[in-house]
Every structure is written in C-alpha cells, then in structure tokens.
Amino acid sequence: MLEHPSPLITKPNQVRIRTLDVGICGTDREICTFVYGAPPSGSEYLVLGHEALGQVVEVGSGVSRFKPGDFVVPSVRRPCPDLSCVPCRQDRQDFCSTWTFTERGINQYHGYMTEYFVDEEKYLTFVPPELRDVAVLVEPLTVAEKGLAQVWKTQQRLPWGSAKPGEPRGKGLNAVVLGAGPVGILGAMALVVNGFKTYVYSRSKKPNPKAALVESFGVEYISSEEVSVEQLAEKVGSIDLIYEAVGVPGITFDVMRALGINGVYVMTGIPAPKSPIPVAASQIMRNIVLKNQAIVGTVNADAEAFSSAIADLGAFNKRWPTALRQVISSRSRLDNYQDLLVGKATGIKNVIAFD
Ligand code: BGC
Ligand code: ZN
C-alpha cells in the first residue's frame, strides 16, 4: 500500500470519480504472483483494480452524460494508438488487432484501487441508484454479456432454439456452465434470464453453499465428482451451449467432448502457461466437424456489453435479490488487501469498500 497522487481533470471530456467499491478477481491475484500484468512504462508499480463502482465528483466542460452524484462503472481496456487498428478506431478495443492496447489495473495503465480516479466520459456506464450495492459485479458480468453477444452472432449460422418473437432467445436450448466462481454464477444468471435451461457443472459435491446459491435461481447444480462428462451429456440431453468459467485446461477440453450438435463453446478462462496435456483430440475434432460446432474465446467487453450488464443486473435484482447479494461474499476495508490478494482464496466475490 502506498501514496499515489490524486488524479485531476486535465481534458474537457474527463470525469473525476470517488471510488466506492472495487472487486477482487483471479486476474488481480495472478498479477500479485507476477505471472500476468505490467505497470505503465516508467512506473515502478501498477495500481490494481479493474472491477470498480464509483460516484462522480466533478465533470469536465465537455461532459454531457454525467453529473456529480451519479454512480458509474468504468470499463477496463483502452485503445491502442495505431491508426491502422480498425477495431480500436471504432471503439472496439476489446478486439484490438495490434495487441498494444492497455488495460486499467492490469496492463500498463493504473487501475481503480485508489480513493479517486479520472477517466473519459465514453469509458463510463451509468448505474441506477437501486443497483448501488451490487454494481461492482457489472464488470465480471460483462464477460458473460460479451460471450452471449458472440453466441448470438455465431449461431446466426443456423435456425437455433425455438424462441418466438418476444420470447427470450435461449428458449428451448440447454446451457452448461463450467465452474461456480463469480464469472460462472453471473453467467448462469444471464443464461437463465435469456431463457436457457441452465446447469452448473463444478467440482464440489452437494450440499455446498455455491450449489445452494445457483439452485435458488433455477439452475441445476451437478458435481463433477459425482457425475462424469458422459453422464452429464446423457442427463442434459443436447448441450447447445457450454460456458467455460473455470480456467482449467484439462476440464475445459474434457467437457468439450460433450458439446452437442450445432453447439457453441465459449471460453473465458486465462490459465497461466503450463506444459501440454493429453486431450481426446480425434473425438473432439470429429465432433467439431461432423456436429457443426463452434468454439469462441471472449475477452474484455465493449460499451454495449456494459449496458447489457446493467440491464441484466437490474433483472437479476428484481427476480433474485437475495441470491444476487450472496454473490458478494465479503466487503472489507483496504487494510485487508493482503488477505484478499495473496492470502487463501475464499468465498465468491470479495470486495474492497472505499467509502
Ligand atoms: C478482465 C478483462 C481483461 C482480462 C485480461 C479480466 O480479468 O475482466 O477486462 O481483458 O482480464 O487481461
Ligand atoms: Zn476481473
């Protein structure tokens, strides 16, 4: 923990924000073991924190969408400077084609684990006051939102599901979420809201708190210690969508064998580099080709994914207010940073509260 200069507005399009909550995730913990992330060039350190909620305290003269008092969440990635990068020039730095983007709190740009931060208006999303206590979950939820946006685009390749106009698009389809961490649980909520019959496949046997939590919002929890991948496929029927939120390569490729006909597999995990492992390559390859499967990775999120995350968080808040609040397993002061960042990982989403 150190003293960091308080940032000031230097451009008309900037907003100065008082930090309220910052979520801790696996990425932060990896940065703290020095296997991931980098400080800004010329800096001896990187300010952590990429999952934030704040309150506007001051706006530059050119800012029109926000006023002091508004609650906002910032996005993470900032565009590369290369004029030939088509995605970055169109505000789609989540698809940066030069790989020279920066990420706040992760990659060459200070994050939000400070009492105040400054950012440009276009990187902020408005948070309705009724979501104040849960809006720190917006950034991890954008992982699912961008993943789903890609699912809809990918599956335009065929007539998919049985939803009629006006019905949730996932109607008639089965989804399996791998992992019951924050990205998995929030992803499962988003899949239910989108009409999928949703299962969470995770290690621990039932009963356990995460199983109880996901079952409280209409998801069936299946333990991989009790149900093999073959049995999972039999139980679910056709697995139309797999949403990987576990980050473990062995499990990820093992479950890939169970993906159904015309299915889509979304990967969100970023494992640290490790030695190669054996996978059922011929079975997987036969399936991908013969069953028309698609595999997509999803990283970071654009402004639209942030807006959908706010909308979905509002829907979760109406349908499952208690379950939603249980995703935040602890709120502590900054003094507790060591436990949260380098101690034993416990709970679901741990949050540092600044106010
Ligand atoms: C963040 C993403 C980021 C990714 C890779 C994740 O934890 O949520 O915004 O792109 O890490 O750095
Ligand atoms: Zn994160």
Residue type, 38: A
Domain spans, the chain: 14-134+327-353, 141-297
10's tokens: 């230097």
38 Cβ inside 6 Å of ligand 1: no
Ligand at minimal distance from the CA of 302 is 1
Does 14-134+327-353 match 141-297 in CATH topology? no
pLDDT value of position 347: 94
pLDDT of residue 66: 98
| Nearest-5° Cα angle at 81, 119 to 9 | 20
Query: pTM for this one?
Result: 0.97
Beta carbons of 187 and 301 less than 8 angstroms apart: no
Q: Beta strands of the chain (E only): which ranges? A: 14-24, 51-59, 71-74, 77-78, 102-104, 108-109, 116-120, 124-127, 174-178, 197-202, 220-223, 241-244, 264-267, 294-297, 328-332, 349-353
Which DSSP string corresponds to 334-350?
GGGHHHHHHS---SSEE
CATH class of residue range 14-134+327-353: alpha beta
Mutate to test the pocket of ligand 1, among 31, 50, 94 (most ligand atoms within 8 A of CB): 50
- Kindly report, residue by residue over 81-91, the tens digit of the pLDDT: 999 999 999 99
Cα 183 to ligand 2 centroid, rounded to whole Å: 9
Q: Which residues of the chain have pLDDT under 50?
A: none
What is the C-alpha to C-alpha distance for residues 156 and 178, in angstroms, rounded to an integer? 24
Q: For the domain bounded by 141-297, which CATH number is listed? A: 3.40.50.720
Using DSSP, state whether 18 is helix, strand or coil.
strand
Contact 100, 80 (CB under 8 A): yes
pLDDT of residue 345: 83
pLDDT per position as a tens digit, 119-154 = 999 999 999 999 999 999 999 999 999 999 999 999
